[in-house]
Amino acid sequence: MWQVLRDLLRYNREFAVGVFLLSFVILIAALSFLAPHSPLDSYVVPPDLPPGWPYVLGTNSRGQDVFWQLTCAIRNTLLFGFAVALISRVLSLVIGLIAGYAGGWVDRALMSVNDTFIVIPLFPILVLFYFVMRDRMSWMTLALAMAFLGWSYDARLIRSVALSLRAREFTETSIFSGMSMRQILIQEHLPYVLPIVFSTTMNNINWSIGLEVTLSVLGFTDINTPTIGVMIYWANQHTALVAGIWWWIFFPVALVVVTFIGLFLLAVSMNEYIDPRSRLGRVGA
C-alpha cells in the first residue's frame, strides 16, 4: 500500500499535484483549531480591513477575520464532503454488491429503487427538504439527505462489476466450499470494487461540496454553521462586491476551487492504479 502510494507520487504528476493541493487545504482546515475567536462571534475585529497585517486575508463587514473564518469554513465543508461520501459509499457498496451477487428478485427490487433515485431531480428535492426542515436543518441532516440521494450511480456501477464477479469460477468455488454470502462479498468481491470506489469517492466529495455551496449561497441550509457556501452567502447579504470587500468572496471561492482541482486530480490519477494493465505493468502490486 505505502509502496503503491510512493510510486504514484513519484511517477504520476497528477497524483503528486493533487496530493499537494489537498494537503494544503487540509492544513488550512486543521488551523481552525487554533482560531482565536469562535467563528460565530461577530465584531471581534475592526470591520472591512483589506488583506494585510495582522489580518492576512482581511476582515469582513461583520467584524470577523476572513482567514480564521475561512479555516473553519473549509473544515466544515470538507467534513461535510467526507461524511456524504462515506455514508453514500457504504450504501452503494452494500446495495451494489448484494444486488449483483444475489440476482433475481433481490436485484430487481434493489435496482428499481436505485433507478428511482437516479431519475429524481436532486436540487428541487433538496430545496424542498430545506423548506420542510426549516429551523431543524443542520449540517448533519443535510449530509444525511445528500448521502441518501447520492449513492445510486455508484451502486449501479458496483452492481455491474459484481455481476461479472458472480459468474467467475472463484465465486463458484467459494460457494462450493461453504462460504457464506457475507464472507464472499467481503473477502472475495470487496477487494475488486474498492479501487473503483476510491475513484468515485473523490467525485462524490466534489459533487456534494458543490451542491452544498450552491444551497448555502442561496440560503437553503443552516446559515449559522460556517461553511464555504455560508461565507459567500453572508458576503452577498452584505453586498460585499458592491461595497468593494472583494477579499470576503475571493478567498473562499479560491480555496474551494483548489479543493475541487485537488480532488479531481486524485480521481483521475487513481485510474492509473485501478487499470490493471498500467498497475501491473508499473506498480506491480
Partner 1 sequence: MSEGAAPAPVLTVTALRAYYQTRLFGIDRDVRAVDNVTLHVNANEIYGLAGESSCGKTTLIKTIAGAIRPPLKVQGGSVEFNFHGRRVSLYDKNAPDLADIRWRHLSYIMQGSMSVLNPLRRVRNSFVDFAFRHIHKPMAEFLDTVRAHLLRLHLQPEVLDAYPHELSGGMRQRVAIALATVCRPEFIIADEPTTALDVIVQKGVLTMIREVQREIGSSLIFVTHDMAVHANLCDRLGVMYAGRLVEEGPTAEILREPRHPYTAHLIASLPRIGDVAPKKALEGTPPSLADPPLGCRFHPRCPLAMDICKRENPQMEWVGPVHRVACFAAQPGKRQ
The residues of the shown chain that bind partner 1, judged by CB under 8 A, are 168-170, 172-179, 183, 187-188, 191-192, 280
Nearer to partner 1, 156 or 189 (CB): 189
DSSP 87-115: HHHHHHHHHHHHHHHH-HHHHHHHHHHHH
Residue 150 is placed in which grid cell? 447520492
User: Partners of 65 in the beta sheet?
Assistant: 59
In degrees, rounded to 5, the angle at the alpha carbon of residue 218 between the alpha carbons of residues 122 and 202 is 50
Nearer to partner 1, 54 or 276 (CB): 276
DSSP 132-193: HHGGG--HHHHHHHHHHHSSHHHHHHHHHHHHHHHTSHHHHHHHHTT--HHHIIIIIIHHHH
Nearer to partner 1, 173 or 224 (CB): 173
Least separation, in Å, of the C-beta of 54 and partner 1? 54
Least separation, in Å, of the C-beta of 42 and partner 1? 54
Least separation, in Å, of the C-beta of 173 and partner 1? 5
Residue 241 is placed in which grid cell? 462586491
Distance CA 90, CA 72 (A): 27
Judge whether 125 and 132 are in contact, CB under 8 Å: no
Nearer to partner 1, 5 or 280 (CB): 280
Type and span of the H or E element at 258: helix 247-274
Least separation, in Å, of the C-beta of 109 and partner 1? 17
Nearer to partner 1, 54 or 281 (CB): 281
Least separation, in Å, of the C-beta of 92 and partner 1? 19
Least separation, in Å, of the C-beta of 182 and partner 1? 13
Nearer to partner 1, 28 or 185 (CB): 185
> Up-side HSE of residue 117: CA atoms within 13 Å toward CB?
21
